[in-house]
A and B are shown apart, each in its own frame.
Chain A
């Protein structure tokens, strides 16, 4: 068996599972989704053996190098948790009479299409195809955000589509400018947008047009990555989507958008030097951290709290990317994986919480540890992971980003960033401690609009804890030792830093 097959598996397996969902009933299809998601992870691990040390596997329009492989592992790992949790999510919806079979079928098909488009985005060698795949994720997830069809979720879906379409439109203009640069430098046809071609022919690219292109690309893909000040859609979309979809959007889709920035950064840094991208990313990083820290302080909705935590972590990723040294990028990649796992567990746990309590308000779920100890345990540990405490891997990656920042020429910005991280840390701790240990609200307030009136009568499912516990175990294991993944991370970081 050649590794070429592993390039097609992450796209074909979800498409096949989508077909199964179209034909078979909810129960079967929901379980079929889990191996389909796991096969993305398997393909990533399979490719990992073939791509370390700067090698790559290519076939047609697809290409897998160390960075692609690493992103496939992130997508596969988070998708497996989200699809497994999705089985229970759909069962809960059906049990409370909250979803029709047609809605469940649509959900299962769309989630698999979502996985296929994300895999295509990281596997595409052609940067135009990468854009097409990222835009396709917006279209597919729009319906998932509006899945519940309440006023709030339709509003969130509308804002999501309009803001992200406009943002990603800017990225298309940037892609066109990049293409114009390549054509002027003598390339033609589809090859001119191939990342391998551009990364190998940076000498002929016009600096002025490259600067214009990269500015547009940072703005466009930055919108999709949830960086401030283009983040306005994110808290709405992530809080209104069904929990497993929030897990995927927050845990991997943001990173897939960032993956596009990394690919272009490898090219433009060779043309312009690192200063330009660094400056823009530092501003975005500090703005994101500031927005997240401020809005976490007084947050009253636990799903929005997790959404703002995503903006905070994307700010960290932007900070590390701006620093741009080998150490920083390695830490950033580890951060992406650790955040994906932690956030997937947290959002899936929050989904169960919403199902049990019927409200996404923090006051409605206080004192969780006494009422549902198992769920409180996984949710609490997921928040501990997101806070960046040991033994979870975000501890190691945040230390790495800080160390690289203080030694790599962005010391001032890094210092400001970590003050903001500290504020966010305190706010997230206070809110989560309230959820877990706080005294239950004595007077049940009248349900605010964020509440779904049909939920709230559910029972806890012990089986639904299993995927979340596995995700936490994986995040903790990564924090203790990277094992064989270390070599892959190193090669992937070299792809971004070295340009090859």
Chain B
């Protein structure tokens, strides 16, 4: 039963990452990110059942941050920067899907040492986290809107959090707190910078960033 729930949460987690590559409207991307945050919370909660209360606290904290606070912050960016309704991908959707498939395969190869070390059901699913990290990289490098780069950074972070939960049952509480605080601050910084970019450059198309070069 636990294993099935875990697999369901992991599947949803990966599916939302691929959905982020597929959809173009930014509001849909933020909705997908919220669902992914919930899936991550699900992973953390399933693993925390029967363990210490500390891991349960971490699960609740992750849920509040990734499914509540961060999507809310992104929505605020969206309202502050009108005109940025859609992402402008450099790679079309079908090529992105193929790339995603390749990245998932790559993740399974790269994560072999992680799986072999502790062959539990949870560790078997750890490549899913790595795959989401790689998809995050892909997104951040192939999209031209400032807000899609923020989404890329958040996908990377969600993926790392998933690896931490699946492979090790979660990093120590003090580290998790620091990591969450840093992530929250980083997104706040990016939010402020997005509005400043908008004020300075008019639109948050990153092709406009051509002031600095050699």
Query: Hey, which bits of chain A sit against chain B, CB under 8 A?
Result: 61, 126, 128-129, 131-132, 135-136, 138-139, 142-143, 146, 149-152, 154-159, 161-162, 165-166, 169, 172-173, 175-177, 179-181, 183-184, 189-190, 192-193, 206, 208-209, 211-212, 235-236, 239-240, 295, 298-299, 304, 449
Partner of B116, one of A173, A179, A193, A208: A208
Contact (Cβ within 8 A) A142 B212? no
Segment among B2-10, B17-25, B93-101, B170-178 that sits at the interface with chain A: B170-178
B67 contacts the other chain (CB 8 A):
no
Cβ-defined contact, B168 with A154, below 8 A? no
Tell me the chain B residues, 165-214 only, with Cβ under 8 Å from chain A: 167-169, 171-175, 178-179, 181-182, 185-186, 189-190, 192-193, 196-197, 200-201, 209, 211-212, 214
B140: interface (CB < 8 Å): yes
Alpha-carbon gap, A146 to B189, bound state (A): 11
What residue in chain A is nearest B123 (Cβ atoms)?
Answer: A180
Establish whether residues A132 and B179, one from each chain, have CB atoms under 8 Å apart when the complex forms. yes
CB distance B168 to A165 under 8 Å? no
Beta-carbon nearest neighbor of A184 in chain B: B117
Residues of A contacting B160 in the complex (Cβ-Cβ under 8 angstroms):
169, 172-173, 176
Known contacts A129-B174, A155-B209: A183-B214 contact under CB 8 Å: no
Shortest distance from the beta carbon of B96 to any chain A beta carbon, whole Å: 19
Interface residues of B in 90-115 (CB under 8 A from A): 110, 112-114
Q: Are A180 and B114 in contact (CB under 8 A)?
A: yes
Nearest chain B CB to A301 CB, angstrom units: 8
Within 8 A of A (CB), among B118-175: 118, 130, 133, 137, 140, 146, 149, 152-153, 156-157, 160, 163-164, 167-169, 171-175
Whole-angstrom distance from the CB of B120 to the nearest CB of chain A?
A: 11
Question: Which of B167, B174, B192, B212 lies in contact with A180, CB distance below 8 A?
Answer: B167
- Complex Cα distance, B184 from A135, in Å, reads 12
A166 engages B174 (CB within 8 Å)? no
Cβ A304 vs Cβ B214 within 8 A: yes
Collect the chain B residues with CB atoms within 8 Å of residue A206's CB: 113, 117
Q: Are B197 and A180 in contact (CB under 8 A)?
A: no
Known: A126-B174, A173-B133, A236-B212. A157 touches B193 (CB 8 A): yes
**Smallest CB gap from A172: residue in B:** B160
Shortest CB-to-CB span from A156 to chain B, Å, is: 6
Bound Cα distance A143, B190 (Å): 10
Q: How far is A235 from B175 in the complex, measured between Cα atoms in Å?
A: 31
Q: How far is the CA of A158 from the CA of B140 in the complex (A)?
A: 13
Closest residue of chain B to A135 (Cβ to Cβ) is B182
Which 9 pairs between the two chains have the least Cβ-Cβ distance? A132-B178, A128-B175, A208-B113, A190-B172, A209-B113, A152-B211, A135-B182, A180-B167, A176-B164
Across the interface, do B175 and A161 meet the contact criterion of CB distance under 8 Å? Answer: no
CA distance A126 to B176 in the complex (A): 13
Can you list 9 A-B pairs, Cβ within 8 angstroms, ordered by A?
A136-B182, A152-B211, A155-B212, A158-B193, A165-B186, A172-B157, A172-B179, A193-B171, A206-B113
Contact A139 B172 (CB under 8 A): no
Shortest Cβ gap from B42 to chain A (Å): 19
B117/A158 in contact, CB under 8 A: no
Give the secondary structure class of A's interface. Answer: helix
Known: A158-B146, A173-B133. 18 other contacts (CB 8 A): A126-B175, A128-B171, A129-B175, A139-B182, A149-B196, A151-B200, A152-B211, A154-B201, A157-B193, A158-B209, A169-B160, A176-B171, A190-B172, A208-B112, A209-B114, A235-B214, A295-B214, A299-B214
Determine the distance from Cα of A147 to Cα of B173 in the docked complex, in whole angstroms.
34
Find chain B residues with CB under 8 A from A169 CB.
133, 153, 156-157, 160
Residues of A within 8 A of B200 (CB): 149-151, 154-155
Contact indicator A151/B201 (Cβ below 8 Å): yes
Closest to B155 in A: A169
Across the interface, which residues of A come within 8 angstroms of B112, CB to CB? 208
User: With a CB–CB cut-off of 8 A, which chain B residues contact A209?
Assistant: 113-114, 117
CB pair B174 A139 closer than 8 Å: no
- B214 near A128: Cβ-Cβ < 8 Å: no
Compute how far the CA of A151 lies from the CA of B113 in the bound complex, rounded to whole angstroms. 45
Specify which of A129, A135, A166, A192 is in contact with B137 (CB 8 Å cutoff).
Answer: A166
Answer whether A176 and B186 are a contact pair too, CB < 8 Å, given A128-B174, A151-B200, A189-B172: no
Q: Write out the residue numbers on chain B whose beta carbons fall within 8 Å of the beta carbon of A295.
A: 214
Cα A457 to Cα B197 with chains together (Å): 28
Are B113 and A212 in touch, CB under 8 angstroms? Answer: yes
CA–CA, A102 and B89, complex, Å: 39
Q: Find out whether the CB atom of A128 lies under 8 angstroms from the CB atom of B153.
A: no
Q: Which residue of B lies closest to A206 (CB)?
A: B117
List the B side residues contacting A235 at CB < 8 Å: 212, 214
**Bound Cα distance from A467 to B107, whole angstroms:** 52
Q: Within the assembled complex, what's the spacing in Å between the Cα atoms of A172 and B129? A: 13
